[in-house]
Amino acid sequence: MKLDAALGAWERACVRAGALRFVDLNLRAAGQVMFQDNPLSGLLFLAAIAWAAIDAGTPAILAGTLLGLAAATLTAIWLRADASNLAAGLYGYNGALVGLALPIFLQPSPLLWACVLLGAAASVVGTIWTAAVTRNWGGAALTFPFVVTTWVLLLAGRAFAGLGGQALPPPGPTGAAPTLPLAAADVVVAVLRSVSQVFFLDDTVAALLLLAGLALGSSAAAALALAGALLAVLAAMAMGADGGLIRAGLMGFSPVLTAVALGSVFYAPSARVLTYAAVGTLFTVVLQGAMNAALAPLGIPTLTAPFIFATWLFLLPRRHVAGIVEPADAP
């Protein structure tokens, strides 16, 4: 296949040039946000961020992503982290997400970029620690280091005026908002934006680029992302979630990740696994609403926390309940 030949040529070039190897590590790390150990997938994911950043006039999110990627990868190299995990990009994706999220919520300043560097470095330490702990029960670090690191830095933005957390929602109680029915076109938009919001992008073109990147690495992952998004949107509508949140993809991005993780990454795809993944995806929707309400008094976003906790819960049977699903080779 031409794609395999291109990847083979790229790998040979990386062997000859250290600078290209560093680029490869970062591209694979970008791909690992959606479980793709593939530099072309990572390149398309970065293209999606670049498109959305330019379209929205927010170049800081692209700059933050690239800075977070590079800082996390360099930190992992400096720490002499596991070479195979480093080569697969498993130490860089949390740093990329830290760098992407912070410019959305904190005001641009030299301190912001210092926080991106600090957060990206801390996320690598967090990845090593979380992977070691969760390995005992067949889990994985997922985006837990990103979520904890970003929560800490966003909360610090309320304590340190120099960080400026003006873009954070005001702390306060929340309740179920009255919802309006969504038209078929709104459902399509909601499904696509559920995919793009995995990278905190409110952009349908970015969603298509992300799906293309997924399909390059795994057609099953791309199909599961779309199916998980549709299931999440329909479930959120059925439960009366805020229509604005649904249409913006904010009720569906964590379920998208859960669907991909359970349906194609940690378990071998089968009819039984797909049913199991669907249950996990639905639970993630409920958890999304619950965590939105729980974190409203703190005025911080849920980020991908619902995905993490739901996926961990549904990974527990992987080693401790024999025969529930057939495990695949997975991190």
Is residue 133 within 8 Å of residue 142, measured between CB atoms? Answer: no
Is residue 141 within 8 Å of residue 76, measured between CB atoms? Answer: no
DSSP letter string, 262-308: IIIISB---HHHHHHHHHHHHHHHHHHHHHHHHHGGGT---TTHHHH
Tell me the pLDDT band of 5, cut-offs 50, 70 and 90. confident
Count CB neighbours of 286 within 10 A: 15
Tell me the pLDDT band of 323, cut-offs 50, 70 and 90. low
Select from 281, 286, 264, 282 the least CA-distant residue to 273: 264
Rounded distance between C-alpha atoms, residue 263 and residue 265, angstroms: 6
Q: Crossing angle for the helix pair 110-134 and 144-159, nearest 10 degrees? A: 140
Write down the residue that tokens 């293309």 correspond to.
212
Question: First vs last Cα of the chain: how many Å apart?
Answer: 26
pLDDT tens-place string over residues 98-147: 999 999 999 889 999 999 999 999 999 999 999 999 988 878 999 999 99
pLDDT tens-place string over residues 157-179: 888 877 776 566 666 655 556 56
Q: Is it the case that residue 253 has pLDDT exceeding 90?
A: yes
Tell me the pLDDT band of 15, cut-offs 50, 70 and 90. confident
pLDDT tens-place string over residues 277-318: 999 999 999 999 999 999 998 889 999 999 999 999 999 877
Domains of the chain: 19-159 (1.10.3430.10), 184-320 (1.10.3430.10)
Q: What percentage of the chain reaches a pLDDT higher than 90? A: 75
